[in-house]
C-alpha cells in the first residue's frame, strides 16, 4: 500500500474549512413544499415561526434562493476546534473485502459529542446568543444531539434545557453525565415541568416516554419562558444547510486528488447527515454538471423513504408543530422495541423527500443484525468503533464494494461515518451475545400510522 | 485569533510519522538499574525473560545502547490508521484563563481505544505475531490498555486473553464490550481459570480483585499455555520506547513552527505516556543541547514519585515478576477506594525513576477534585472530554499558565492529553453531584507498603 499516493487520511488545511454553507434548495427546480400552519393549512410565515425558532434560523429555514450563506466568524472559529474532519481512504477495509472498489468515508465522530450533530448545534446556539436569548430547549433520544447542543451552549454561555426520553435517561446515564458536564440541565421526559408532561403522566403513569412527547415538552418550555427558543437537530432545512459543511469538506478533499465518487451513501433518520454529505454533489447533479448514484440507507424497522407516504404530516407526536410534506410513517409511529440506536424518526427532511420523489436519489433499508455485522467488521479493520446509525451506511458501502468484487469494477464509493458508538455498547453487547433480533413491520403494522396522517385536499396518497 | 499564524491543530503529513522510535536510555549516563531475578538477585537475562515476553521485546527491554530503533513497516501502516495525532494549540483555554502563556497539547485520544496505549499495543502484538505465537495475555484495570491490546490483536489475528479486575469488569461493562467487539476474551479476575485465582478466591471468597492479582493470573496463563506470552502496557522500557512516537511527533510539529516549549507536563502512573512524550526533549537535555522544565504529575492518593522510596521492588502484588529499581510505594499498596480512574500503580518506570533521581525532571501531586475541576473547565472551552488520568496534566498546565498570568511571562507550555473520558462518566457524575472526595494517605498509611519492600544489601532507603 506504501506506493499509493493517496494518504490514509486526507486533511484539509485549517483555512480550507468552508466559510459558506451551501443551500441545495437554491438549485432545486421543484422546491421542497413549505411548512403549513395546521390550523389554516397555509404556509407558515416568518412571524408565525418566530415564537418557536430564532429569527435568523427562521430566515434560513425559509430561504430557497441563496445558494451560499456566509458562516459567521464565531462559528468558523468553533469549527476549528474539531474541523476539518478527516476524509479517510478505507485501505484496510478494501483489503479485507478483496474489492477493486475504492472506498472513502468522511468521519465526523472525532469530537466529544461523538457525531456530526455539533455542526448545526453550534450554529443554532450562535444565532440564539446573537438574538440575546437566555437559552434554548430541545429533546434528545439516543443523546447525540443533546450532547452536541450542550457543548455548543456551554461555549456561548447559554442555558440549555434538554428533555431526554425517560427510558434513555435511565439506560444511558453516561450520555446524561456528558451533558451535565457541559452545564446542561437534563430532565427525563415526560416530566412534571410541563402541562403536556403532567397530562401524559396522569394518563400513563408508568410511561417511559417517547421522542414525540419530549419534543412537545421542549416546545412548551421554549414558548412559555421569556428568552427561550426551541432548537432541533435534524429534519429542518436550516439543519441541512449547516450540515453542508460535511459535503463541502469531503468534496474539497476529493477534488484535491482529482477523485470523483461514483456512489455516495449516507444513513438517513431525519436526514441531517445525508443531506449535509450529499449537498454539493447533489447541486452538481441538479445543475446537470455531473451524475452520481446517491443512496439513502434507513433501518428496515423504520422505513420512511422506502415504505412511507409522501404527504403532509405532523413533525411531532403531540401534533403541535407545523405540517411538513415528507415521506412519513405517520406521526404516531414508534419503531419496534428491539430497534437499537437512532434513525427512529417517523418522517424525513422535506428537502430530501422532494429530491427522492423527483428521482435524484435512491433509498434502501437494511436489517439491524446485518448492520452490526458490518459495524464489527469495520471496527476490526479500520479501528473505529462506529455508531449504530453510521453503520447503516457501512453495510451498504460494503455490499456495493462486494458487488464490484464480483464484476471487477473499480468504482469509487464515498460514505458518511457520522459518529462513534461509545455510548451504544448495550446494543453491541446484544449483538456479541447473539441475542439481537430483526424486525420488519408488516403492512398491517404500518397501517395505524398511515391512517393518522391528516387528510385534506391535496394531501392524498 | 484569526491573525495568528499557528493553526489550532498542527497535523504532520502522513510521511512525517516517525519511522524510528527513540530510546532515551542510550543518552543516559546513569542507565536505569537492570531487572533482577528475585531468587538470585542477579540481572535478568534474555533467556530468563523469554518464557514471559516475546523475544524481540526482550531485546528492546534490555537495549541500552541504540538511540534509534526502526519501526517495522507493518506497525507504521497501522499507525496511519490513527496517527499522526494532532498537536493542538489551546487558544480557547488560553483565552478563558486570560494568560499570556502559550499552551499546546498532544492529543492521543482520537482512536477507538481512547488513549495512547495503542502505540505500544500494536508493537507488542506485531512482535508476538512475528514470533508465530497464538496469542497474548494481559491484565487491565480502568480498561484503556485492554481495549488497545484487543484492537491490536484483532488486526494481527492473535488471540487476546484479558484479565480484568472484577470490580472494573462489573462497573465498566462498556469497556468490556468494546474488547469483546474486537474479539478478545475478557475474564473477571480473580477467576477459577488459574491456580493463583483459585487460591485467592478460596482465601477471600468475596474479593473484587486487584491489578496485582490480575497480573499474576495473566502471567500464569501466558507461561502455562503453549504459544502465549504476557504483555504489559506501562512501566517497561520497551513501552517507553514505543511511546516515544508521541514525543517525536510533538517535537516535529513544534519544530515546523520554530516553537520551543519551556515546560513539558505529563501525567504519570507507570510512566508510559510521560516517558513517551518527554523522550526526545529529555534526549536534548541529557546531551546538554537544550534545557526544559519537565514535570510529572501524579495523584496525591498514589504518590510514588513524590513520596515513594527509590528501591528495588516487585512489579506485581503476587511477587512473581522480576524486581525493578523504581520509586515505589510497595507492591501491596492499593490506592484508596475513592480514587477514580487509572494512575494507580504502586511503582514507576525504572527509566523515569532514574531520570527523576538524577534531577532531570520534577514531580508534583494533585488532588482529584481539583483534577476534575480542571477537566470540566478544559472540556467546556476546548471541546474535548478528557480522561481523569490526562486531567492531572491539565491541572498543572492550567496552574502554570495562571502563574504566567501573574508574572506576565509568555511561557510555552506543552502537555500530554493521553485520552478521552467517555468510559469514566461515573467519576464525572460524582464530581457533578458534589460527592467526590479527596484523600491523601498519611505516613502511617504508607508504612505497610514500605515495610514490604524487600531488604537486601544495596536496597537500603
Instruction: Determine the Cα–Cα distance for residues B31 and A391; give it in Å rounded to an integer.
Output: 50
Q: How far is A430 from chain B (nearest CA, A)?
A: 10
For residue B86, the chain A residue with the least C-alpha distance is A82
pLDDT of residue B65: 97
**Helix boundaries (H) for B188-299:** 195-203, 211-224, 237-256, 272-286
pLDDT of residue B2: 41
Neighbours of B374 (CB within 10 A): 23
Q: In terms of Cα–Cα distance, which of A262, A266, A290 is closest to A278?
A: A266
Q: Which residues pair with B299 in a beta bridge?
A: B366
Which residue bears the cell 545502547? B65
- Closest in B14, B81, B110 to A110, CB measured: B110
B190 prior amide bond cis, ω within 30: yes
pLDDT of residue B434: 95
Give CA torsion, residues A17, A21, A27, A28, to 10 deg. Answer: 120
In angstroms, what CA-CA distances link A234 with A139, A145, A435, B353?
11, 9, 31, 53
pLDDT of residue B1: 40
Q: How far is B430 from chain A (nearest CA, A)?
A: 10
CB contact under 8 A, A422 and B422: yes
Q: How many CB pairs under 8 A join A and B?
A: 117
Q: Which three cell numbers stand for residue A35?
A: 411548512
Which residue bears the cell 504532520? B12
CB contact under 8 A, A81 and B425: no
Instruction: Determine the Cα–Cα distance for residues B160 and B136; give it in Å rounded to an integer.
Output: 5
In angstroms, what CA-CA distances link A425 with A171, A181, B174?
11, 21, 5
Q: Which three cell numbers stand for residue A38?
A: 395546521
Cβ B358 vs Cβ B309: under 8 Å: no
**What residues in chain B have per-residue pLDDT under 50?**
1-3
Does ipTM come in above 0.95?
no
pLDDT of residue A235: 92
Q: Which three cell numbers stand for residue B214?
A: 490480575
Instruction: Determine the Cα–Cα distance for residues B209 and B164; give it in Å rounded to an integer.
Output: 9
Helix B350-357 vs helix B272-286: crossing angle, to nearest 10? 50
Helix B55-62 vs helix B237-256: crossing angle, to nearest 10? 70
CB proximity list for A256: less than 8 A, separation 6 or greater = A10, A12
Model pLDDT for residues A138-191, shown as the tens digit of each residue:
999 889 999 999 999 999 999 999 999 898 888 888 999 999 999 999 999 999
Cβ A268 vs Cβ A302: under 8 Å: no
pLDDT of residue B4: 54
Cβ A189 vs Cβ A167: under 8 Å: no
Chain A, 317 to 336: residues with Cβ < 8 Å from chain B are none
Contact of B125 with chain A, judged by CB distance below 8 Å, is answered with no
Segment A113-133 mean pLDDT: 97
Instruction: Determine the Cα–Cα distance for residues A288 and B97; give it in Å rounded to an integer.
Output: 52
Write the secondary structure of chain A as one string of H (helix), E (strand) and C (coil): CCCCCCCCEECCCHHHCCCEEECHHHHCCCCCCCCECCCCCCECCHHHHCCCCCHHHHHHHHCCCCCEEECCHHHHHHHCCCCCCCEEECHHHHHHHCCCCEEEEEECCCCCCCECCHHHHHHHHHHHHHCCCCEEEEEECCCHHHHHHHHHHHHCCCEEEEEEEHHHHHHCHHHHHHHHHCCCEEEEECCCCCHHHHHHHHHCCCCCCCHHHHHHHHHHHHHHCCCEEECCCCCCHHHHHHHHHHHHHHHHHHHHCCCCCCEEEEECCCCHHHHHHHHHHHHHHHCCCCCCEEEEEEECCCCHHHHCEEEEEECCCCCCCCEEEEEECCCCCCCCCCCCCCCCCCCCCHHHHHHHHCCCCEEEEECHHHHHHHHHHHHHHHCCCECHHHHHHHHHHHHHHHHHHHHCCCCEEEEEECEECCCCHHHHHHHHCCCCCCCCCCHHHHHHHHHCCCCCCCCCC
Chain A, 163 to 182: residues with Cβ < 8 Å from chain B are 173-174, 177-178, 180-182
Q: Which residues of B touch A383 (CB under 8 A)?
A: 81-82, 111-112, 151, 155
- Side-chain half-sphere of A384: how many Cα atoms within 13 Å? 30
Contact of A423 with chain B, judged by CB distance below 8 Å, is answered with yes
pLDDT class of A3 with cuts at 50, 70, 90? very low
pLDDT class of A461 with cuts at 50, 70, 90? confident
3-state secondary structure of B310: strand
Q: In terms of Cα–Cα distance, which of A275, A269, A305, A240 is closest to A392?
A: A269
Give CA torsion, residues A391, A397, A401, A407, to 10 deg. Answer: 130
For residue A173, the chain B residue with the least C-alpha distance is B425
In angstroms, what CA-CA distances link B45 with A157, B69, B132?
60, 21, 22
Segment A187-200 mean pLDDT: 93
In angstroms, what CA-CA distances link B150 with B158, B175, B176, B244, B409?
9, 11, 10, 21, 45
Chain A, 19 to 48: residues with Cβ < 8 Å from chain B are none
Helix H or strand E encompassing B70: strand B68-70
Q: In terms of Cα–Cα distance, which of A359, A271, A279, A274 is closest to A315?
A: A271
Contact of A67 with chain B, judged by CB distance below 8 Å, is answered with no
Chain centroid to Cα A41, Å, comes to 27
**Phi/psi at B354 (nearest 5 deg)?**
-65, -45
Cβ B83 vs Cβ B118: under 8 Å: no
CB contact under 8 A, A9 and B428: no
Quick one: what percent of chain A has pLDDT higher than 70? Answer: 99
Q: Which residues pair with A416 in a beta bridge?
A: A106
Contact of B157 with chain A, judged by CB distance below 8 Å, is answered with no
3-state secondary structure of B103: strand
In angstroms, what CA-CA distances link B161 with A256, B170, B189, B214?
44, 17, 12, 11
Longest dimension (CA), chain B: 67
| CB-based burial, A121-132: b 16+ in 10 Å, e otherwise | bbbbbbbbbeee
pLDDT of residue B366: 97
Which residue bears the cell 405532523? A314
Picking from B112, B173, B436 by the largest number of A CB atoms within 10 A of its own CB, the best residue to mutate is B112
pTM of the model: 0.95
Cβ B151 vs Cβ B182: under 8 Å: yes
3-state secondary structure of B19: coil
Amino acid at each position: 500500500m506504501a506506493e499509493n499516493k493517496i494518504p490514509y487520511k486526507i486533511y484539509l488545511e485549517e483555512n480550507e474549512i468552508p466559510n459558506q454553507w451551501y443551500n441545495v434548495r437554491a438549485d432545486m427546480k421543484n422546491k421542497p413544499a413549505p411548512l403549513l400552519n395546521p390550523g389554516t393549512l397555509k404556509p407558515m410565515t416568518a412571524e408565525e415561526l418566530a415564537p418557536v425558532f430564532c429569527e435568523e434560523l427562521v430566515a434560513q429555514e425559509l430561504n430557497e434562493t441563496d445558494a451560499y450563506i456566509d458562516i459567521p466568524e464565531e462559528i468558523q472559529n468553533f469549527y476549528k476546534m474539531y474541523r476539518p474532519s478527516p476524509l479517510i481512504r478505507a485501505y484496510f477495509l478494501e483489503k479485507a473485502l478483496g474489492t477493486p472498489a475504492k472506498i472513502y468515508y468522511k468521519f465526523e465522530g472525532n469530537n466529544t459529542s461523538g457525531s456530526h450533530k455539533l455542526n448545526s448545534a453550534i450554529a443554532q446556539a450562535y444565532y440564539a446568543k446573537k438574538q440575546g436569548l437566555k437559552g434554548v430547549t430541545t429533546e434528545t433520544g439516543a443523546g447525540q444531539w443533546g450532547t452536541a447542543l450542550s457543548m455548543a451552549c456551554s461555549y456561548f454561555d447559554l442555558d440549555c434545557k434538554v428533555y431526554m426520553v425517560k427510558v434513555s435517561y435511565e439506560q444511558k446515564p453516561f450520555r446524561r453525565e456528558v451533558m451535565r458536564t457541559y452545564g446542561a440541565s437534563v430532565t427525563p421526559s415526560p416530566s412534571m415541568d410541563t402541562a403536556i408532561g403532567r397530562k401524559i403522566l396522569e394518563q400513563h403513569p408508568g410511561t417511559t416516554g417517547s421522542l414525540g412527547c419530549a419534543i412537545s415538552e421542549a416546545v412548551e418550555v421554549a414558548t412559555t419562558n421569556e428568552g427561550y427558543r426551541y432548537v432541533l437537530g435534524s429534519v429542518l432545512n436550516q439543519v441541512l444547510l449547516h450540515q453542508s459543511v460535511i459535503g463541502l469538506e469531503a468534496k474539497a478533499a476529493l477534488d484535491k486528488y482529482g477523485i470523483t465518487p461514483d456512489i455516495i451513501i449516507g444513513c438517513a433518520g431525519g436526514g441531517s447527515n445525508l443531506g449535509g454529505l450529499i449537498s454539493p454533489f447533489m447541486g452538481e447533479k441538479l445543475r446537470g454538471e455531473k451524475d452520481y448514484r446517491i443512496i439513502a440507507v434507513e433501518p428496515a424497522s423504520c422505513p420512511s423513504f422506502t415504505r412511507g407516504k409522501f404527504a403532509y404530516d405532523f413533525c411531532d407526536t403531540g401534533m403541535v408543530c407545523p405540517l411538513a410534506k415528507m415521506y412519513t410513517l405517520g406521526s404516531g409511529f414508534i419503531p419496534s422495541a428491539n430497534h437499537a440506536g437512532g434513525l427512529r424518526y417517523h418522517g424525513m427532511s422535506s428537502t430530501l423527500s422532494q429530491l427522492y420523489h423527483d428521482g435524484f436519489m435512491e433509498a434502501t433499508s437494511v436489517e439491524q443484525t446485518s448492520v452490526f455485522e458490518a459495524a464489527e467488521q469495520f471496527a476490526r479493520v479500520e479501528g473505529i468503533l462506529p455508531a449504530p446509525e453510521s453503520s447503516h451506511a457501512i453495510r451498504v458501502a460494503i455490499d456495493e464494494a462486494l458487488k464490484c468484487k464480483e464484476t471487477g469494477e473499480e468504482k469509487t464509493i464515498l460514505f458518511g461515518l457520522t459518529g462513534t458508538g461509545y455510548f451504544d455498547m448495550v446494543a453491541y453487547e446484544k449483538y456479541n451475545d447473539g441475542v439481537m433480533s430483526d424486525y420488519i413491520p408488516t403492512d398491517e403494522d404500518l397501517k395505524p400510522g398511515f391512517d393518522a396522517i391528516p387528510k385534506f385536499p391535496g394531501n392524498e396518497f
